[in-house]
A and B are shown apart, each in its own frame.
Chain A
Amino acid sequence: MSPVTKPPESKLKTLIWGCLSILLYGALLMFEQPIMALSSQGKWFFIVPVTIAFIFSFVHGRFTEEFWRSLGIRAKY
Chain B
Amino acid sequence: MSDLTKLTAAEIAGLVATGETSAVEVTQAHLDRIAAVDERVHAFLHVDTEGALAAARSVDERLAAGDDLGPLAGVPVAVKDVLTTKGVPTTVGSKILEGWRPPYDSTVVQRLREAGTVMLGKTNMDEFAMGSSTEYSAYGPTRNPWDLDRIPGGSGGGSAAALAAYEAPLSIGSDTGGSIRQPGAVTGTVGAKPTYGGTSRYGLVAFSSSLDTPGPCARNVLDAALLHQVIGGHDPRDSTSIPAPVPDVVGAAKLGATGDLTGVKLGVVTEFTGEGAEPGVMAAFRESVEALAKLGAEIVEISCPHFKYALPAYYLIAPSECSSNLARFDGVRFGLRVGDDGNRSLEEVMSLTREAGFGPEVKRRIMIGTYALSSGYYDAYYGQAQKVRTLITRDFTAAFERVDALISPTTPFVAFPIGSRTADPYQMYLADLFTIPTNLYGGPAISVPCGLSEGLPVGFQIMAPTMADDRMYRVAAALESAVGTFTPPAL
A in complex with B: no
